[in-house]
Structure 1
Amino acid sequence: MNPGKSSYDVVVVGGGHNGLVSAAYLARAGLSVLVLERLGHTGGAAVSVEPFAGLPVRLSRYSYLVSLMPEQLMADLDLDVRLASRTTASYTPWTRGERSGGLLVERPEGEATRASFRDLTGGDEEYAAWQAFYGEVGRLAEAVAPTLMRPLPLERDVRALVDERIWADVVEEPLGRAITRRFADDTVRGVVATDALIGTFASMDDPSLAQNRCFLYHLIGNGTGEWRVPIGGMGAVTDALARAAVDAGAELVTGAGVSAITPGPDGAEVVWHDGQQQRAVTGRRVLSGVAPWVLRILLGEGEDPDTKPVGSQLKINVLLDRLPALRSGADPAVAFAGTLHLAEDYSTIEQAHAAAAGGAVPDPLPGEVYCHSLTDPSILGDRAGSAHTLTYFGLHTPAGLFDADPGAKDVAVGRALASLDAVLAEPLADCLATDAEGRPCIEAKVPQDVEQDLAMPGGHIFHGDLDWPWAPNRSRLETPAQQWGVQTDHDAVLLCGSGARRGGAVSGLGGHNAAQAVLADL
């Protein structure tokens, strides 16, 4: 469809989940809103697809779990979306000499969790340290979460709400110091560390603290940090957002590749191509759901390869005829129901980072596996009850590895599957489903695939390194855009995507906060 007008109150560039959140809020407030999306569908990275020929199985191809999206946002927009809790938080197979087992963390934690720590470590000290650390992290999350849908607080105001020790551990010093000081066991240390490394290529001792910021975002959602499964897949979330935007009066145009944004005295012009001809539209405000690096190109500032984000993840989607048995003897329906950690001992993670920094695909390759179909069988279609999905997310696989060696993707996939086979009592290949053409049901994506499919520069899933979700103490917070953390160098152009200060992950926060800045300004 083509837009109905030549000018709007707000033009949103990018129809990912954040752009749709902005559109829904603004249209509900009575503003005229146009959303321009390059692809043939909205949703961006938060979509469900049927990747395997002849099989009606809908997988969350890129984004796969929801933590950060505030329940208040979902209520504000009347989203018809259900998020289900996973009964298992995590399961980590381990081997110590002749002994083997698995570290089980229940949700909520109970006696089986305590016993599992005792079986691994020989005592109760490590579980006590776990409870103390996550108790403090929980209080930090409870302090930060309510601020995410408000104007940015100053750092000192947030710091005043939390214990000094956890503030130092998470905000001031490299997270690796706290982990190695608080925990003695290598496996326990690794389980804690992994939340700091999803989509982030860093050592746990990196002085930039990129790992610390990633850790914080993974644990503050709704004050609990619980990662939940969207019933119907990630596409159910963005389909609901698109309905909310359209029902409120926003116009969504797909197949609209934006090529330029030109700010003016009373707004900005957006130039786009509909596949047949070039078009232009103006908005009093333009919201950018694309990465800031891409936005600078659209604004005519040129391409700067030195500042281009660098993604770091390997995503593998798999369909199985049945869940495989584990060497530990654990019930697969329990072990696979949460996050199954593979080759993620702390020492292994750090060795993998060093290998990747040196240009080699890590071996073993750290990663984790999720089985969404245990929580939501509906995504299996008519295979419900006779199949299961697995989603693998690999760490320390920066884009540079795959630029340097065209064969590195196959190597990384092989090592990812080998890390899973290492904890199984049977080869994963024996459980793999095949599609209508007889091919194994495996789909793999590296950062280059993400960039090609979604135009995320460098395949970086956060559009660049995450910022702290508060403002530095000496920040200028004079305009609504600055107050909400969505400003650019142009008054008429605001960030509404993952590149906003409180962007990243499937949260809708960038979209919400940009909308609030517009409403305060127009």
Structure 2
Amino acid sequence: MTAQGATSALPRALHSVRAGGTPSAYDAVIVGAGHNGLVAAAYLARAGLSVLLVERLEKTGGAAVSTYAFEGVDARLSRYSYLVSLLPRKIVRDLDLDFAVRGRDVSSYTPVRRDGQDTGLLVGGGRARTREAFARFTGGEREFAAWERFYGLTGQVAKRVFPTLTEPLPTRAELRARVDDEDAWRMLFEEPVGAAIEESFQDDTVRGIVLTDALIGTFADAHDPSLRQNRCFLYHVIGGGTGAWDVPVGGMGALTDALARAARAAGAEFATGYEALRIETDGTRAEVTCRGADDEFTVAARHVLVGASPQALAALLGEEPPAPAEGAQLKVNMLLKRLPRLRDREVDPHEAFAGTFHVAEGYEQLATAYREAASGTLPTAPPSEIYCHSLTDPSILGDHLVDLGYQTLTLFGLHAPARLFAEDNDAARAELLKATIAQLDAYLDEPIAEVLATDAQGRPCIEAKTPLDLERDLRLPGGNIFHRDLAFPYAQEGTGRWGVETAHANVLLCGAGAVRGGGVSGIPGHNAAMVVLGE
């Protein structure tokens, strides 16, 4: 059995165990073999605890997987999550993972049409080149100087906050003291981030580039008083203490494959193809009942760690679920025969798509798209951002495809809340995809359809996933990639010492819905393991 593509399997020790029998006992049972569950399993098994990891699907990895998405095509795509920023090097070192990432020299390219001319802003390639690009695009030095001040400030916050994510939760006052910059604290933790963006920048395109980090997977306006956009922005700019978003070598599945190998090597047992049905606990001993295609079993544990959503945890415990969550994105995977030509002749497509390629993400465009979606209609000009994994890491493509010049494109669309797909998911998906591709085509010298590869059946290599598709495929509540709204990384009432605790002393939440969850980080898995090992 391999980490991905495994068939339904039950550990040998559980073959004779069925519901109604005498439960086998483990130190820890982990529900859900996404990357957080795998991190927890590896830590606990390496510490000598007996661990059983139960997974509904027949493969491990959850949303952090690599998949041959197109029939007969040797391209192993990061199908859902696709970049790495929040994964601490500490976890990679602690677990001796055979996993690496590569940085991107180009941060972003944003095409626009100004004064009848096709142009754009390329950020990356060194300070001097970026400065020159800003001057050419904005007509002066002001925006680049503001850019350096703004990201200099967030960089200092990243250095001070990121190390706390694998420590017990600080209080709000402790984190504020750690940040030690009142302007930064006000900008990120107290006032809507839109205020700081508007105060810092004048150019609409530059404002939009900055704002997008506050909207990835989060449906909010720049001035939302809830500050959910601030929390999203914070997690997007603190990763690794730098805010850099890197490409996983071998695709995202390389990480979860490495985690699964580490957990198995340490002695963790896996039951794939088995769905947890319920958890019963008295606070010191728990029993978890699971069902496969043809059978059930019940297993006892001192600790239960749940790598699923807070809604799934409540269902397992028979408790009232938390408020509904809602995702707000369109995820599109493409395979191209080659990169398309751009209307902006000043930039090479191999650079433009190497970083984040912003489409319809000007500041006012984002505000308009939000208002339209909030009113119940699909955005007229859907905002999205795109990047090409294979430019940085061609290993995800077969040698033959590399020789032919094939490339991947990953598109992440914003302001596409689940509510817009509730009436007819298929029709809304098709309509939004068409509009999104039309926005991309507006900056290309040839339609993207002309360079799409085809699969073994002659079909274009393009697939799109709405929030409802993600809910169906991955059990993400409302398709929310964070499981619920992100939380500031400090202790609040009911969060517990590590942000993974529940009302039951021996049941922990180690999925993305934990405090300091969200993104491919492994942080909730690490923190839940620390709670168990601390006891």
TM-score by length of 1: 0.96
Q: Which amino acid aligns with 1:141?
A: A
| Contact 1:413 1:444 (8 Å CA) reproduced | yes
Q: Which amino acid aligns with 2:396?
A: I
| Contact 2:385 2:411 (8 Å CA) reproduced | yes
Task: Report SS of the residue matched to 1:344.
Answer: coil
Task: Report SS of the residue matched to 2:277.
Answer: strand
Q: Which amino acid aligns with 2:519?
A: A
Task: Report SS of the residue matched to 2:386.
Answer: strand
Task: Report SS of the residue matched to 1:468.
Answer: coil
Shift of residue 121, structure 1, vs aligned partner: 1.1
Q: Which amino acid aligns with 2:368?
A: Q
Percent of residue pairs identical: 55
The residue aligned with 1:510 is: 524
Which of residues 79, 97, 108 in structure 2 aligns to 1:79? 97
The residue aligned with 1:492 is: 506
The residue aligned with 1:453 is: 473
Which of residues 186, 201, 210 in structure 2 aligns to 1:183? 201
Shift of residue 85, structure 1, vs aligned partner: 0.6
| 1:343-362 paired onto structure 2 within 5 Å | 343-362=360-379
Task: Report SS of the residue matched to 2:532.
Answer: helix
Shift of residue 110, structure 1, vs aligned partner: 2.0
Does the alignment pair 1:402 with 2:421?
yes
| 1:254-333 paired onto structure 2 within 5 Å | 254-302=272-320, 307-329=323-345, 330-333=347-350
Task: Report SS of the residue matched to 2:43.
Answer: helix
Aligned counterparts of 2:283 and 2:471: Cα–Cα separation in 1:
33
Q: Which amino acid aligns with 1:465?
A: D
The residue aligned with 1:369 is: 386
The residue aligned with 1:2 is: 10
| Contact 1:377 1:385 (8 Å CA) reproduced | no
Q: Which amino acid aligns with 1:444?
A: A
Task: Report SS of the residue matched to 1:100.
Answer: strand
Aligned counterparts of 2:378 and 2:450: Cα–Cα separation in 1:
26
Which of residues 403, 410, 416 in structure 2 aligns to 1:391? 410
Task: Report SS of the residue matched to 2:132.
Answer: helix
Task: Report SS of the residue matched to 1:73.
Answer: helix
109-118 or 59-68: bigger deviation = 109-118
The residue aligned with 2:234 is: 216
Shift of residue 151, structure 1, vs aligned partner: 0.8
Shift of residue 405, structure 1, vs aligned partner: 3.8
| Contact 1:45 1:62 (8 Å CA) reproduced | yes
| Contact 2:418 2:466 (8 Å CA) reproduced | yes
Shift of residue 96, structure 1, vs aligned partner: 1.6
Aligned counterparts of 1:227 and 1:45: Cα–Cα separation in 2:
17
| Contact 1:486 1:501 (8 Å CA) reproduced | yes
What CA deviation, in whole Å up to 9, does each residue of 1:397-423 have, x standing for no partner? 000000034411111101111111011
Aligned counterparts of 1:73 and 1:220: Cα–Cα separation in 2:
17
Q: Which amino acid aligns with 2:487?
A: D
What CA deviation, in whole Å up to 9, does each residue of 1:91-119 have, x standing for no partner? 00112222331111105x32221111111
Task: Report SS of the residue matched to 2:205.
Answer: helix
What CA deviation, in whole Å up to 9, does each residue of 1:243-279 have, x standing for no partner? 0000011001100111111112422111110211121
| 1:228-267 paired onto structure 2 within 5 Å | 228-267=246-285
Going from structure 1 to structure 2, the CA distance change for 1:220 and 1:265 (only over 3 Å counts) comes to closer
Does the alignment pair 1:121 with 2:138?
yes
Aligned counterparts of 2:128 and 2:363: Cα–Cα separation in 1:
25
Task: Report SS of the residue matched to 1:160.
Answer: helix
Q: Which amino acid aligns with 1:504?
A: G
| Contact 2:64 2:80 (8 Å CA) reproduced | yes
Shift of residue 125, structure 1, vs aligned partner: 0.4
Shift of residue 155, structure 1, vs aligned partner: 1.4
Aligned counterparts of 1:47 and 1:15: Cα–Cα separation in 2:
11
Does the alignment pair 1:435 with 2:455?
yes
| Contact 2:283 2:504 (8 Å CA) reproduced | no
Aligned counterparts of 1:184 and 1:74: Cα–Cα separation in 2:
41
Does the alignment pair 1:519 with 2:533?
yes
Aligned counterparts of 1:29 and 1:136: Cα–Cα separation in 2:
39
Aligned counterparts of 1:412 and 1:101: Cα–Cα separation in 2:
26
What CA deviation, in whole Å up to 9, does each residue of 1:464-520 have, x standing for no partner? 000111114xx578xxxx211111111111011101101110000000000000111
Aligned counterparts of 2:101 and 2:321: Cα–Cα separation in 1:
39
Which of residues 187, 194, 197 in structure 2 aligns to 1:169? 187
| Contact 1:267 1:286 (8 Å CA) reproduced | no
Aligned counterparts of 1:92 and 1:265: Cα–Cα separation in 2:
53
The residue aligned with 1:203 is: 221
| Contact 2:284 2:505 (8 Å CA) reproduced | no
Which of residues 144, 158, 163 in structure 1 aligns to 2:175? 158
What CA deviation, in whole Å up to 9, does each residue of 1:285-324 have, x standing for no partner? 00010000111011112557xx221111100000000000
Task: Report SS of the residue matched to 1:448.
Answer: helix
Shift of residue 137, structure 1, vs aligned partner: 0.4
| Contact 1:257 1:273 (8 Å CA) reproduced | yes
5+ residue gaps, structure 1, are none
5+ residue gaps, structure 2, are 1-8, 15-23
| Contact 1:13 1:258 (8 Å CA) reproduced | yes
455-464 or 509-518: bigger deviation = 455-464
**Number of equivalent positions:** 512
Task: Report SS of the residue matched to 1:440.
Answer: coil
| Contact 2:283 2:505 (8 Å CA) reproduced | no
Which of residues 157, 165, 175 in structure 2 aligns to 1:148? 165
Aligned counterparts of 2:357 and 2:148: Cα–Cα separation in 1:
20
Aligned counterparts of 1:250 and 1:357: Cα–Cα separation in 2:
46
Task: Report SS of the residue matched to 1:276.
Answer: coil
Does the alignment pair 1:112 with 2:122?
no
| Contact 1:291 1:497 (8 Å CA) reproduced | yes
Task: Report SS of the residue matched to 1:356.
Answer: helix
What CA deviation, in whole Å up to 9, does each residue of 1:339-392 have, x standing for no partner? 000000000001000000011110110000010000011111131132000000
Q: Which amino acid aligns with 1:248?
A: A
Task: Report SS of the residue matched to 1:75.
Answer: helix
Task: Report SS of the residue matched to 2:75.
Answer: coil
Which of residues 424, 438, 441 in structure 2 aligns to 1:421? 441
